[in-house]
Each structure stands twice: as structure tokens, then as C-alpha cells.
Amino acid sequence: MDFTADYADARRRFRESATRLGWNRRAYDVGGIGPAGNDLTIDVALSPGADTGRVLVVSSGLHGVEGPLGSAIQTELMERWSLTAGPGRARAVLVHALNPFGFAWSRRSDAENVDLNRNFLDDAARYAGCPEAYRAFDPILNPRRPPSRWDPFRARAIWAVARHGKDSLRAALVTGQYEFPQGLFFGGMGPSVTFRIVSEQLPSWLGHAETVVHLDIHTGLGARGTHKLLVDYPLGPSERDRLTRWFGANVFHEKSPGRVAYQARGSFGPWLMTRRFAPDYAFAFAEFGTYPDLPVLAGLRAENQVHHWGGDAEPVSRAKARLRELFCPASQAWRARTLADGLDLVERALKGLAERDRQGLR
């Protein structure tokens, strides 16, 4: 399976694979256009199998530039299912490019600079606030000027880590902020287009779901070539046991005050839990490691700088290319391994759903 960082090509492949399977396809326009003048859509492929109450959801591209791996996994799944019995008795829901703008333009955020994994706030929550440490780090993180050849970001970042501590600084950065619209990790000023589409359409995608397993594919966090399922909401004993049996004790990492230094506001997983789209809804971010934290942060900063504060065509192109490499390495070994691992996670989820179906469990 060939990867592609081109959104239009990835969408075409996704649509063609769904059509060959005879699956139902839906497309939701988010507005705007891609680099080639094409429209931007969130695409969904729905298997037409019997509604058993068991549903597998695989979504991709919530952080746009991270989309190529998730797209490759989704398309390869459909290609393989076209040669077999498909996903079995479970209903499969594949959601392609939750952030098509970011996928198309090599950005992590959407057209409004919103980090969509900071945008899914509960109805009563306000899109306001910012960690104090973020304010202190803002001049370093979000320089409001065109890029220059000499940039001491690495040295200043190391100094900031030494002064504030790695955990406190990470918490300040990735918790989410709602006061710097042109800054990194901006959660928005209200519900995004993606938020509204998912909120309105997910019930129809799920049908009469009783048990849902939802894997949301991400890259850029963790050791290169490894993967983890990140669960950022509290697990009960039965939920923890299920994840252990299905995926292995060392594959998932759950939210725990003793082990996680921060909790992102507006994260996709907790929002899905509170909305209760099904009686039994299990969600995890499937994170695939690429490069160390500091180079990834530097790449995000550089791309954000050229996006908002300009620069010549060459620096813009270079920053975009670097960001694509940081979140989807060109290494064939990395691509082969992560694709195989992603497919394995999906197959494990399907086996788990089939087990519950045989046992008559919700």
C-alpha cells in the first residue's frame, strides 16, 4: 500500500475502495478549497452488513497533517476486505480526514487555526482560558515575524525546560489555550465545523449501536516505530480488563493522575464519552511514534510561523515538507511497520467485537 500526503489523492483512493466494496459513502463539505482548487470534505464509508449492534469506528486526520497513515490504514482495510468476508458481522464506519483543510495544506490545525483535539468542549464549557506558563512561553513559541536564517528556538526551548520543568511546560503547551488565535494548540472560539458535523451525523453512522469500539489514528507522539492506545478518560475495571484482553496490557495507556501530567481540554475522547452515542462506547487514540518531542514542536512552530507571518515561497515550502516528514516519515521501514501495526489493532478490535457477539454481551 502506497502512502500519499496529497489529500485529494488520498480521498480519491478512499472513495474508490469504498465503491469497489459496494459500501455506502457520504461526504460532508467543510468549506474552503485545497491547493489544486478541489473541495474539502470529511468522507465516511459505511459497511452495509446486518445491524448487530456491534460497531467498529476508525477515524483519521483529526490533526490534518497526521492524516496519511490513518488514510493508508483505512484504504488498505477496504482493499483487504474486498478479498475476504469483510469486517464480519460488525458494522464498520471509516471516517476519513476529520480535518481535510489541515491534511490538504500540511497543517495540524484547521482553517481557523483550531486544534480540533482541543475543540470538543462540553455544552456548558466556555472557550476561554490559557495556562499561565503558555503565556510566558508565547513569545518563544509563536514569534510574530517572518522566519529568519538565525533562529535560537532550540536553545531557548532547552532553557525554558530547565526553568519550568519538562512536565509543567508540556502541560502548559498541550492542555489547550483559547486566548491566542494564531498560536499553537488553540482550541477555538466556539464549536468548529468538524465538531458540528460529527455531533450531528455520528448517530446516523452508528445506527442502532450497542457496543462501539472507536480507534482514532494519530502520529507524532512516542518512540519512533512504536504505538500506543491512549485513553484520556477514566476506565472502569471491566473496561480496563477488556482493553487488556483485546490489545494487551502494554499496548494501552490510560489517564491516571499518577502517570499523566496533563489533561487536554476539549479532547475528542472524553466528549464522546459524555455524549453517550451508544450504551457501551470504547474510544482510544492510536498514537504512532515518529520523531522526538522537541523536533516535532520545532516543526509545528516553524510551519505556524510561516502560515501566519509570511515568508518567501522557499521557507514556506520547506516548513511544510518538514512537517509532513515529522508526522509521516518517508522511511519505508516506518511506513510498513506502522501500517501493519494499525491493521493489527483493527483486527484485534474486530475479534473482540465478534467475541462479545458470540457471548451475547453488550
Residue range 225-257, pLDDT digits in tens: 999 999 988 888 888 999 999 998 888 887 654
Please state which of the ranges 53-67, 206-220, 260-274 shows the lowest mean pLDDT: 260-274
**137 vs 272, more confident:** 272
Instruction: Report pLDDT for 313.
Output: 83
Query: Is the confidence at residue 178, as pLDDT, over 50?
Result: yes
Arithmetic mean of pLDDT over the chain: 91
Q: What is the pTM of this model?
A: 0.94
| Residue 178 located in a structural domain | no
Domain that holds residue 42: 7-120+187-293+325-359
Alpha helices for 248-292 (secondary structure H):
268-275
142 domain-assigned? no
Asked if residue 278 is part of any domain, the answer here is yes
Which residues pair with residue 42 across a beta bridge?
28
pLDDT given at position 361: 54
CA distance to 18, 64, 213, per residue, from 352 (Å): 24, 29, 9
Residue 161 lies in a domain: no
Tell me if 348 is assigned to some domain: yes
Dist. CA 231–CA 143, nearest whole Å: 33
Domain-embedded: residue 266 = yes
Average the pLDDT over each of 204-218, 310-324, 335-349 and give the range with the smallest value. Answer: 310-324
pLDDT band at 50 (very low <50, low <70, confident <90, very high): low
Could you give the percent of the chain with pLDDT greater than 90? 69
CATH at residue 66: 3.40.630.10
Please state the rounded mean pLDDT for residues 100-120. Answer: 98
- Quick check: 112 pLDDT over 80? yes
* Alpha carbon distance 323, 64 (integer Å): 11
Would you say residue 187 has pLDDT above 90? yes
Contact 42, 84 (CB under 8 A): no
At 71, is the pLDDT very low, low, confident or very high (cuts 50, 70, 90)? Answer: very high
Give the pLDDT confidence score for residue 147 in this predicted structure. 82
What pLDDT is recorded for position 202? 98
| 146-155 pLDDT tens trace | 887 777 777 7
Is 299 inside any structural domain? no
The alpha carbon dihedral of 111, 117, 120, 121 has a sign of: negative
HSE-up (13 A, CA, CB side) for residue 206: 24
Own/partner long-range contacts of 232-237 (Cβ < 8 Å, ≥24 apart): 232/260, 232/263, 232/264, 232/267, 232/269, 232/270, 232/285, 233/269, 233/270, 233/273, 233/283
| pLDDT over 90 (residue 23) | yes
Predicted confidence band of residue 52 (pLDDT cuts 50, 70, 90) = confident
Report yes or no on 218 lying in a domain.
Answer: yes
- The total of structural domains in the chain comes to 1
Q: In terms of pLDDT, which residue wins out, 291 or 354?
A: 291
| pLDDT for residue 357 is more than 80 | no
